[in-house]
Amino acid sequence: MTSAIAPEVGVIIANHNNSEYVADAIVSVARQSVRNMRIVVVDDSSTDDSDRIIREALCRLDDPRFEYLRLEHNVGQAGALRRGLQALRTPFVSFLDSDDFWYENFVARHLTVHLNADYPVALTYSDSHIVDAETRLLAGTAWWFDVAQSNGSPRAIEEALIPEIDPETGCLAYNLSKAPTLYPNWSAEWSSNSMAAMMFRRDFVDLVLVPPNESLRLYVDFYLSTFATLITGAIAIPEALYAYRMHGRNKHSNGSVLGGSYNSSKRRWEPIRDGVLRLILQVLQRDSEELRIAFGDFRCDQALVQLRTALKGSMAQLKGRSRLQELLFGGRDLDHC
């Protein structure tokens, strides 16, 4: 049996005005079962009490693996993550949103899946629990995780997917035993999860996280995960390895968990998705030579075709939707009827 040392993992906790939750995020990283980590907490010029909360949390931990950077000017999600990356030299990196928190095995599970002896990828991502502001469980899965495997036909729900409640504590426990899924190619129907679900190869992030800060003030997770799956493939980990907190002030998930394939956001997703896909297309075209050296002509050409096809299909759907509005509602937006 080959004996090798596990690589160091870098973690960036980017915070902006999440003073109520950022300490929980910090502690969840400190408690990871994997100890070989470097962690950078980046406060993106918060205007609430975040700076004090972060400093107090780090002081209580007194953990030399942590570094704190407070930015004087707000630069958005991509800018904050880039600033954190400058302080890290680790081969793997994960980004934790400051209002979410990881379970203790998050880093260990992601790292071992990355280091599988089958197929290396740039991205692993996991399922999540959905919790409220007080960390009470709202849903045992992000419904869109691995959604390509589901269908509308009647089917059984595996017993392992139904939790047990401890009568003494009221805590819930799931007993999952499902294998990770390799997605060697991207499709327009594919979906991963939020930023806190992911671990990336650092060199990949450095190569593609090149758009200006203003172009990616939000949705860096969708940008990086889509780019990674297009170019290298991705591996989905079926366990919920973290909790996504819907607390009412989320920058995107400002909806409610209503059951079914609920919309976590009140915003229309299509314009957001298409904007990010166009950004990836621009980078693939602009940095073509460097990306082709790294990933080869076939993957880059395939990605270009897939992106153009997806955007063309989206435009056709938009035109059909506008025509339907005109016929049925006199041009009024269906989303506001």
| 144/58 same-domain check | yes
Of 257, 330, 245, give the one whose Cα is nearest residue 25: 245
What percent of the chain has a predicted confidence (pLDDT) above 90? 69
Length of the chain: 337
| Domain housing 325 | 268-337
| 197/274 same-domain check | no
Kindly tell me if the per-residue pLDDT of 167 is higher than 50.
yes
- Yes or no: say if 220 and 84 are a contact pair by the CB < 8 Å rule: no
| 146/199 same-domain check | yes
Q: Which DSSP symbol is given to 96? A: E
| pLDDT one-digit tens code per residue, 227-280 | 999 999 999 999 999 999 987 666 666 667 777 776 676 677 788 899 999 999
Domain membership of residue 284 (yes or no) is: yes
Per-position b or e across 165-187, b if 16+ CB within 10 A of its CB: eeeeeeeeeeeeeeebeebeebe
From 226, 247, 267, give the residue that closes a domain: 267
From 225, 250, 267, give the residue that closes a domain: 267
Domain CATH for 125: 3.90.550.10
| pLDDT one-digit tens code per residue, 58-108 | 999 999 999 999 999 999 999 999 999 999 999 999 999 999 999 999 999
Backbone angles phi, psi at 66, to 5 degrees: -95, 140
| 184/43 same-domain check | yes
| 24/148 same-domain check | yes
Domain membership of residue 4 (yes or no) is: no
Averaged over 23-42, what is the pLDDT?
Answer: 97
| Alpha carbon distance, N-terminus to C-terminus of the chain | 64
Backbone angles phi, psi at 192, to 5 degrees: -105, -105
Of 166, 101, 167, 158, give the one whose Cα is nearest residue 131: 101
Rg, the chain, Cα only: 20
Average pLDDT, the chain: 88
How far, in Å, CA of 139 to CA of 132, rounded?
A: 10
Which residues does 192 contact at the CB level (< 8 Å), separation at least 6? 123, 125, 145, 198, 221, 225, 229, 234, 236
| 225/288 same-domain check | no
| 108/195 same-domain check | yes
- Yes or no: say if 235 and 120 are a contact pair by the CB < 8 Å rule: no
What percent of the chain has a predicted confidence (pLDDT) above 70? 86
| 178/71 same-domain check | yes
How far, in Å, CA of 2 to CA of 5, rounded?
A: 10
Which residues does 99 contact at the CB level (< 8 Å), separation at least 6? 18, 20, 21, 22, 25, 245, 247, 250
**Any idea which of 67-71, 107-111, 313-317, 325-329 has the lowest mean pLDDT?**
325-329
Supply 148's token pair: 């390509």
| pLDDT one-digit tens code per residue, 184-199 | 999 988 889 999 999 9
| 304/244 same-domain check | no
Q: Which residues pair with 25 in a beta bridge?
A: none
| 252/277 same-domain check | no
From 252, 267, 282, give the residue that closes a domain: 267
| 259/279 same-domain check | no
